[in-house]
Amino acid sequence: MALTSQTQRVLLKVFIASIVCCAAVGICCLLVGRVGSFVGRVLATTGTISGLAILGLGSATVWERRRWHPVGLLGTGAGVVTLVLTLAAIWVDWWRLRAGPGEEVVFKSTGIAWVTTVALTHVGLLGLARLKRGYEWARVLTVIAVVLLALQIDGAIITEVDSDWGARIMGILAICVACGTIAIPILHRMSRLHVREAVCTTELMLSLTCPRCQRVQQVAVGRSKCAGCGLKFNLEIEEEHCPQCGYSLYKLESANCPECGAPVTS
């Protein structure tokens, strides 16, 4: 976790530095009054680094949280490949090298790399949400839509086929991705409210030793802080509840949920 946190700090510094560089170049262009080929490439480079730094922060967060762990690692690797391909597309004069078909391959590979990096980061961030079992279908459908949309865009880049139905399907998938992306954080918040409501069966106090000052104290569930050094705590306790309707099963003696009648496994 420490390594990943260090990676996040480095990516954040890179993002800030690229933004400052881009702003400085833009100001110089306004003062000089013209934008040459070299300046345009510098702006494109700083913009590329800024975008990939943001995507890298998302993948690093997924990696740190150990949620869908391979996705965060794959997103980071795809970001590195995307950076190399994009810088090559910006700075190498392929027409001078007379690359022919090779130039087309480079630009198509760059587009596919960008789509893949964005899709992996998007899927990884969706995996960070902690949802009730009843809400998991929304995340599954959103992830499927993201994957299908990425595959369709990659296919369009490779084949260069301009299809009316293909554009319509791509639009439908984009709408599904947008709706799911908006809904997942809301469902995540609702799930957290459900967890807080489930704890209301009793007021709990926990005996806790502060990891910083080693002071033993009674801490209430929720947000609190150490009485000695002020270290902040956020304690959450989730009692057993019905997987169908979310009804609390505290002191339940029957084999079925008293709210919906669903069987309860011990």
In a domain, 107, yes or no: yes
pLDDT tops 70 at residue 266 = no
Q: What is the mean pLDDT of residues 159-179?
A: 88
**23 and 52 inside one domain:** yes
**93 and 20 inside one domain:** yes
In a domain, 240, yes or no: no
Q: Indicate the pLDDT class of residue 93, thresholds 50, 70 and 90.
A: confident
Closest CA to 22 of 53, 51, 44: 44
C-alpha to C-alpha distance for 83 and 45, rounded to whole angstroms: 9
pLDDT tops 80 at residue 67 = no
pLDDT tops 80 at residue 158 = yes
**220 and 189 inside one domain:** no
pLDDT tops 80 at residue 100 = no
Domain finish residue from 151, 175, 198: 198
In a domain, 241, yes or no: no
C-alpha to C-alpha distance for 132 and 112, rounded to whole angstroms: 34
pLDDT tops 90 at residue 57 = no
**38 and 161 inside one domain:** yes
In a domain, 64, yes or no: yes
pLDDT tops 50 at residue 1 = no
**111 and 222 inside one domain:** no
Domain range for 209: 202-235
Domain finish residue from 144, 169, 198: 198
pLDDT tops 50 at residue 199 = no
**109 and 88 inside one domain:** yes
Reported as a single tens digit per residue, the pLDDT across 122-150 is 999 998 888 877 888 999 999 999 999 99
In a domain, 245, yes or no: no
What pLDDT was estimated at residue 190? 79
**96 and 158 inside one domain:** yes
Percentage of the residues of the chain whose pLDDT score is greater than 70? 77
**Mean pLDDT, rounded, of the chain:** 79
Is residue 14 a contact partner of residue 49, using CB atoms and an 8 Å limit? yes
**96 and 166 inside one domain:** yes
- Output Rg (C-alpha) for the chain, integer angstroms: 25
**53 and 85 inside one domain:** yes
pLDDT tops 90 at residue 31 = no
What pLDDT was estimated at residue 35? 61
In a domain, 222, yes or no: yes
Q: What is the mean pLDDT of residues 88-93?
A: 82
Q: What is the mean pLDDT of residues 240-258?
A: 71
Q: What is the mean pLDDT of residues 179-186?
A: 91
Q: What is the mean pLDDT of residues 157-165?
A: 83
Q: Indicate the pLDDT class of residue 9, thresholds 50, 70 and 90.
A: confident
Q: How many domains does the chain have?
A: 2
pLDDT tops 70 at residue 265 = no
What pLDDT was estimated at residue 112? 93
- Which one has a higher pLDDT value, 246 or 2? 246
**130 and 217 inside one domain:** no
**20 and 144 inside one domain:** yes
What pLDDT was estimated at residue 30? 66
In a domain, 248, yes or no: no
**113 and 187 inside one domain:** yes
In a domain, 72, yes or no: yes
One-letter amino acid of 253: E
